Chains A and B, each alone.
Chain A
Amino acid sequence: MATPIKTLKEIPREELFTPGHRLCAGCGIPQLVRMVLKAIPGPKVIVNATGCLEVATTIYPYTSWKVPWVHNAFENVAATAAGIEAAFKALEKKRGVKRPKIIALAGDGGTFDIGLQALSGALERGHDMIFICYDNEAYMNTGIQRSGATPRGAATTTTPAGSVVPGKIERKKDLMGIAISHGVRYAATMNPAYPVDMYNKIVKAASVEGPTVLHYFCPCPTGWRFDTAKSIEVSRLAVQTRYWPLYEYEDGTYRINVVVRNPRPLEDFLKLQGRFAHLLRPENKHILEQLKRDVEENWNRLMKLAGLS
């Protein structure tokens, strides 16, 4: 496997994702896509579920992609990727065609909810592919509806914060846990404010034979209601408050990549975002406390798994 990079200067210059796409100003998805296309050299196929990325980068007759790219529905991106992988395996056997890297990209809707069954099937069958979820914690493309990835307390258009219900009352699903319990050899979380870490994780995922899962924190100025300039700042705070632990699972071992010894108060992350504004009011203290417990429990669980506590 390639040696991990240490500086931004080592990231290749070539851009296989062009500007001219219609993603919102300040969107957090392209930082992921650019890094994926840079970190995985050679032939590759992108399989894209329905979602912001698909809709905004391929408005006919325009495309931002300079690599083979195929769209399928919310529910079957992993099945499509699996089929492409199987077809290339057959071509490799029969005609000696070099197999490209198969990369599935889906939002949280296409991963946590609608696409989960196809993902589970593909992971269980063991297809050689990288599945990447860009998680902006709600259905942003269709109008900010709550998903299984929306955190407790967040206001969305289907869980508006009112006087009776203070935003979403349920806890966020554990996607990494779901992936790992399928027996994948490699899974990792990523964050745009940590580009070197992200680059190395993509390289690692691509070097593993079989399915791997990458879970990317995707800031969304439109859906989370913050200033477009703050996308990376919000992302960094997600790590510094332990809201989004950066960790990886590799052949049975857990490693926390950024061990946050002295976390910033969770409020520092919440107060920048309109979706959490109501949590800072005294009448919603109980849900804020619950969200803090979610974050703390998750961190303590990971520290234990990583053998650090």
Chain B
Amino acid sequence: MSVRPLSWRELPAAPVITEAGSALRYKTGSWRALRPVIDRGKCIKCLLCWVYCPEPAIIRGEDDGVEVDYDYCKGCGICANECPVKAISMVEEG
């Protein structure tokens, strides 16, 4: 945990989190056993993987091209399963 532990006197009366989106500091990429790899030559920029990603860990570029954010991708494989042109393959980590 990257936050300094507080004494009980410093604790807020209720668990209030004042930093929006602080979960970004918690990297879930280590959960992954299989890694999605995108073949950009095959990608048709349909955005299905971007819409279906539960994290979201698919980054939508300016030109609607997509990239995987490996810091957070848990390797569920939805993107590879749904890609209509099979541009995403799941490869073993390690």
Contacts and interface: CB of A to CB of B under 8 A. Distances in A.
Interface of A: 8-9, 11, 13, 15, 17-23, 25-31, 34, 57-67, 192, 195, 221, 227-233
Nearest to A227: B77
Given A22-B28, A227-B77, A228-B77, A28 B17 contact: no
A66 B22 CA distance: 9
B37 to A, nearest CB: 14
B3 interface: yes
B21 A228 contact: no
Interface string B38-70: 000000001110111111110010001000010
A27 B47 CA distance: 19
Contacts of B64: 9
Given A22-B28, A62-B25, 5 more contacts: A15-B56, A26-B54, A26-B76, A63-B19, A63-B23
Contacts, number: 112
Main secondary structure of the interface of B (DSSP, over half): loop
Given A19-B28, A20-B27, A64 B21 contact: yes
Main secondary structure of the interface of A (DSSP, over half): loop
A18 B81 contact: no
Given A228-B76, A228-B78, A229-B76, A20 B52 contact: no
A26 B51 contact: no
Nearest to A35: B51
B47 A66 contact: no
Given A26-B76, A228-B76, A19 B25 contact: no
A62 B51 contact: no
Given A20-B25, A22-B28, A66 B20 contact: yes
Q: Size band of the B side of the interface?
A: 35 or more
A19 B15 contact: no
Nearest to B27: A20
A229 B56 contact: no
A228 to B, nearest CB: 4
Nearest to A27: B54
Contacts of B52: 31, 192, 195, 231-232
Nearest to B82: A232
A29 B47 contact: no
A25 B23 contact: no
Contact of A63 (B17, B60, B71): B17
Q: Which 6 pairs show the lowest CB-CB distances between chains A and B?
A: A229-B77, A20-B23, A19-B72, A26-B76, A25-B74, A19-B55
B26 interface: yes
Contacts of A64: 21, 23
B81 A233 contact: yes
Nearest to A13: B60
Given A13-B60, A19-B23, A28 B54 contact: yes
